[in-house]
Each structure stands twice: as structure tokens, then as C-alpha cells.
Chains A and B, each alone.
Chain A
Amino acid sequence: MVERNKHKEYWRSNLRLVTVLLTIWFLVSYVFSILFIDTLDQFRIAGFKLGFWFAQQGSIYVFVILIFTYVALINRLDKKYNVHEE
């Protein structure tokens, strides 16, 4: 029963982590690169219009960073709740 509750708690922490990361995922792709692209395009970064840069470069970099961040954090969570594999 104790183990059960621990697993439930692990799952809730996992859901919180995933929610935060997916919010960033949504922000860089759908918000910056689609919905508000014209607003962002008024600014410039390294020769690019900002919105255009997010749409064709930046969002992809962020995607890669998100996955590696997730892996690092969830591995730590696995250890904390002692559910990691051998």
C-alpha cells in the first residue's frame, strides 16, 4: 500500500513535469511561430525576423533541448521515488 501511494505521487510529479515542458513546446511552436508570428517579426535576431527565426530554426532547437531536459529531470524523479531500472 505504501508502495502504491509512492507510485501515485511519482505519477503526479511526472504529470507536472510533462505539463510544464509541453507548455514551452506549445509556446515556441504554436504561439511564437504561428499565432503571433507577425508581431514577433517586428523584432530582429542575428539577421532574421524573430518570428520567422522561431518558425524555421528556433522552435526545432527548443524541441531538442526539451527532450534532453525531460530525460535529465525524469531520471532524477525515478531515483527519488526509487522506481528506476537496474
Chain B
Amino acid sequence: MGIQAWTYTLVFLSFAIYIGIAIWARAKSTKDFYVAGKGVHPIANGAATAADWMSAASFISMAGLISFLGRDGSVYLMGWTGGYVLLALLLAPYLRKFGKFTVPDFIGGRYYSQTARLVAVVCAIFVSFTYVAGQMRGVGVVFSRFLEVDITLGVFIGMTIVFFYAVMGGMKGITYTQVAQYCILIFAYMVPAIFISVMLTDSVIPQMGFGSTLADGSGLSLLDKLDKLHVELGFSQYTSGSKSTIDVFCITAALMVGTAGLPHVIIRFFTVPRVKDARISAGWALLFIAILYTTAPAVAAFARTNFITTVHGKSYAEAPNWFKNWEKTGLLTWQDKNGDGKMQYFGENKAQSPGIGENELTVDRDIMVLANPEIAQLPNWVVALVAAGGLAAALSTAAGLLLVISTSISHDLLKKVLMPNITERKELLYARLAAGGAVLVAGHFGANPPGFVAQVVAFAFGLAASSFFPAIILGIFYKRMNKEGAISGMIAGIVFTAGYIIYFKFINPAANTSENWLFGISPEGIGTIGMLLNTTIALVVAKFTASPPDEILKMIDDIRVPVSTGRNI
């Protein structure tokens, strides 16, 4: 079978599984719809959290990003895993004990204030929408590259599938499809990685192959060879960094804290039966995530080496098939500047006299994962698997985000603020309507992406880090924190972080260079400062305002122990 036939078969099969699960796991109550009836097994919740978390960006873009950034790419690897330690140790068990449905529920309840709840709702919706647009785009990209259908049609197909299981099954349907999606995406990621690892280094485990000696008889280790190639071609060494230490520090911190503050990740821990289960399922989640995240940097190094050695200095007439295929998509272009008919790939440090040392190739980062199996001449079914895996990653994350949006509207906004007297049935209906509406809006953004999708990712993490994280942590660990402190802290954190990002990304992008940054911290890392600002202001304001009421103090005592104390409010 050809690549296309394989792709159609695998994608169709995976979609059939998702729909089957959706029919099996229909939501019957709001509790089913919001938190899967609180009956999810911790290992299943771990797998679902992993799929929820690993998006189109993790699956398609991350390894490519790292292969171009080298050591600087570590910020994503540590930033997008280290947050789970914070989640497991500082958030998940207590939020589970608190026992409501959403993050705004906790903020509103702990800070006895509708204002606090509303601030949290607005943040949750904003963060989730910025994120979901990127996922829908990812769906469209996979469809158009592998199945050669129009991006809009691809987005439409993806939307229909998500609509089906998110609207029917709510959290219950989403959870069990995410478990299936995790299995598909991790298999699709590991198979090509293992093939390539064996090819380049004779090691079956990519994590080991990453540090091994090359199988080409040169006696060099993979990373030494890559460093050598980089220096020869005028790039800086692969294993050395070019970002400043403070910036790397702050970006890593913002991503970690942002991860721990993202509502679609947090709500997953409301779905397990007990506090104990919330803790262990964070462990399973990180274990499942780590399988991909420790493979990604290996894939990055393999793909980079493979790409340079198969392309650089080769004549265009003899270029492999995949090169011409990907040229059609515009992700790979070659311009014969010196007219010698050969492809030259050079970095910024190479002497720039015309014709000599001039780079002739432009390479889109996403190619490193998408075209990797073809570059390594792997069998057709492996190439097709990448398409099914990419779709699983994008759809699972999109569904989790859509659920946050729909619960924010039906539960936090309608039930808790605007129409407190609606019946359970009505609330469930509104939840489904909101999920449906959110799918449509997300689909619209996927088909007509605003040019700033890539830029706003910094936003999602920065805002989660500078708003939710300190408010939740202080709410659990500092009894004296009151509503005045928490609200002013959140607002200061958001205004500062959003202002900084908006200024450098939208108002004055020309000034977005390290000389103009505050303390040399890029907009990607500024959430860390926003978080510190939030905490400081919250502490100061709380010091000068009234202590929280007695029943709140009792509630905090109660969430701090797993067993029920009978002191719950």
C-alpha cells in the first residue's frame, strides 16, 4: 500500500475508535459531564492527562524546535514536565479534596467572592481559547499535508469528531477517548524514533542512542558529530546555548508554573475518586509524558544529523524523493545562489561573501518530525502513523480545552452567577450548547488563523503563571490570605504580564530585543516576574486587610488532610 492509502486507513480506524468510545461513554448528569462522575482510575487519568497535555505542538513542533535551538531547547523539555512536580506536591491533592468542579470554583469559594470567581472565569476562557485555536490549526495542517485535502475541510472534519464526543460525553467521553489517543500518539511517536535510533546508532532505545557512538564507523558520538557539523557549517555548537542564563531561567520557570496553573490540566485531577488517587495519577501522567519528552531531544538530534548529511553538498538533480515532496508544501525551499546545482546549508557564522558560504536552504521546523520517517526511508505505514498520531495529539488537547470553556460558561457563569436556580437538566443542556458553540469558534480560528497564534502561546502560560498559580498556592498554604489580597494580586499579575507581552509582541515588535527587555527577560519568560509580583502584592494587601472569615479557615483545615474532618462548609 502507498503512503496515502495507509494514512487513510489508520486515520479512519482511529476516528472509528473515538466515536465508538463516545457512544459508550455518554454523560447522564452534570457530574458526568464536568468530572466524569469522579470515578476515573488513576492510571487511566494519568494517560488522559498526558494526552490532554501533549498537544499538536508537543507532537509535531517540539522536536523540530529543539533541533534548531540545540541546548536552548531544554527550556521546553524541563518547563513542560517540571510543572507536574508542582501539581502533584502543591495543588492536585488539595484541589481534589476541595471537591468542586472547576478552577474558578476553588478561587470563588476559597476567597468568598464573586469578583474573584469572575476574574478566574475570564482568565480560564481566554487561556483556553488561545490554546485551542492552535490545536485546530494543527488538525488542518496534518490533513492537508498527509491526506491532501483542503485545510478548511480538514478543520471541519476534526471539529465534527470533537463535537461528537465532547458534546455527547463531556468529561466522561473525553477521558476515555484521551486514553485511546495517548496510546495512539505514543506508539506513533516511538516507532519512527526507534527505527532511526537503530539506523544511526544501533541502539534500540532512543534515549540511549542519543548519547551513543554513531554506527557509520567514524567512532564519533552522535552529539560530537553534530557539534562538529554545526561548527563546520557556521552554526553555534549544538550542545551550547545562546540565550542568556536569566532568560533561560525565567522561561523555564514561567512554563513550569504555567503548566501547573493551566485549567484544562488541573480539572483532570477532579475526576478521580480520592485524594490519594489525585497524587498518584499526577505521577502516572508525568511518567507517560516523560516517555515522549525524553525521546523528543533524541529525535531532534537524529533528525538534524540525518538532514544535514543527506542534503548538504548534494546535487539537486539527485535529491531524494521526500525533498521534492516537501518542497511542494513550501516548508522546504532551495535557491541555487551560486549556480552550481548543489544544495548548500550554512549557518549565520559562515563567511558571507556572494557564492561562497551562502545558505541556500530554508527549512521549516515542523519538517523535522513530519518528514523524519521519509528522510530515514522508513516503511509507508510508519509515515502514515505520524499523521494519525499528530491528529490524536491535537484532538485530545482540543477536547480538554473545549470542556474548560463549556464548564466555565455553564457552571461558573450561568449556574453560579447569573441563574443560580436552573435545574440540573437545564445546566447540562447549557453545558452541551456551550461546548458546541466553543467548537464552532475554535473551528473558525483553525480555518482562518489569526496571524498571532504562535505569539499568543506565551500569553497562555504567562497568564496562567501570573494569575491562577499564586492564588491557588496561597489559598492552600497561607491561611491568612484574604479576598482583597488574592484579587489585587491576580489583577496586578495579569495586567503586568499581559501589558509586557502585548507591548513587545503587538505594539512595538521592532523593540523585541534583549537590550530593551526588563532585566533581559523575554516576553516568554515574563510570567515568572508576573507571578512574583502577584505574590508580593497579595501578601502586602492581605497584611493590611481583614482576616478571612472563620468558616473559610475551617475549610482550609479540612482541605489540608485527606480524610473528612466534618468541618467542611
Contacts and interface: CB of A to CB of B under 8 A. Distances in A.
Contacts of A84: 276, 562-563
B279 A33 contact: no
A39 to B, nearest CB: 12
A35 B245 CA distance: 7
Interface string B205-219: 001101111000000
Give the dominant DSSP class at A's interface.
helix
Q: Which DSSP category, helix, strand, loop or mixed, fits chain B's interface? A: helix
A64 B284 CA distance: 8
Nearest to B248: A34
A59 B78 contact: yes
A21 B290 CA distance: 19
Interface string A44-71: 0111110011011101110110111011
A21 B86 CA distance: 10
Nearest to B87: A67
B245 A60 contact: no
A33 B89 contact: no
Nearest to B279: A71
B85 A67 contact: yes
Nearest to B275: A85
Q: Which of B212, B252, B253 has the most CB of A within 10 A?
A: B252
A70 B279 contact: yes
Contacts of A53: 211
Interface in B65-79: 66, 71, 73-74, 77-78
A61 to B, nearest CB: 7
Contacts, number: 129
B87 to A, nearest CB: 9
A85 B274 contact: yes
B39 to A, nearest CB: 15
Interface residues of B, number: 50
B242 interface: no
Contacts of B279: 67, 70-71, 74
A18 B185 CA distance: 33
B223 A47 contact: yes
A55 B78 contact: yes
Contacts of B256: 29
B293 A60 contact: yes
A1 B183 CA distance: 50
Interface in A1-25: 3, 7, 10-11, 14, 18, 21-22, 25
A70 B562 contact: no
Contacts of A47: 210-213, 221-223
A83 B563 contact: yes
A63 B74 contact: no
A46 B223 CA distance: 11
Given A29-B82, A33-B78, A71-B283, A52 B563 contact: no
B286 A33 contact: no
A14 B562 CA distance: 12
A85 B84 contact: no
Contacts of A59: 77-78, 81-82
Contacts of B563: 78, 82-85
Given A22-B85, A48-B223, A71-B283, A56 B557 contact: no
B532 interface: no
Contact of B294 (A11, A60, A82): A60
Contact of A64 (B212, B287, B297): B287
Interface string B359-378: 00000000000000000000
B164 interface: no
A35 B213 contact: no
Interface in B233-247: 239, 241, 245
Interface string B267-291: 0000000111001101100110010
B88 interface: yes
B84 A67 contact: yes
B74 A7 contact: no
Interface of A: 3, 7, 10-11, 14, 18, 21-22, 25, 29-30, 33-35, 37, 41, 45-49, 52-53, 55-57, 59-61, 63-64, 66-68, 70-71, 74-75, 78, 82-85
A-B interface, 9 closest residue pairs, ranked by CB to CB distance from nearest: A47-B211, A55-B74, A67-B283, A56-B297, A83-B561, A47-B221, A83-B563, A48-B211, A67-B88
Given A29-B256, A46-B211, A83-B561, 7 more contacts: A25-B82, A25-B85, A29-B252, A37-B71, A49-B239, A59-B82, A85-B562
12 contacts: A11-B561, A29-B256, A33-B74, A34-B249, A48-B211, A55-B78, A60-B293, A63-B84, A63-B85, A64-B287, A75-B276, A78-B276
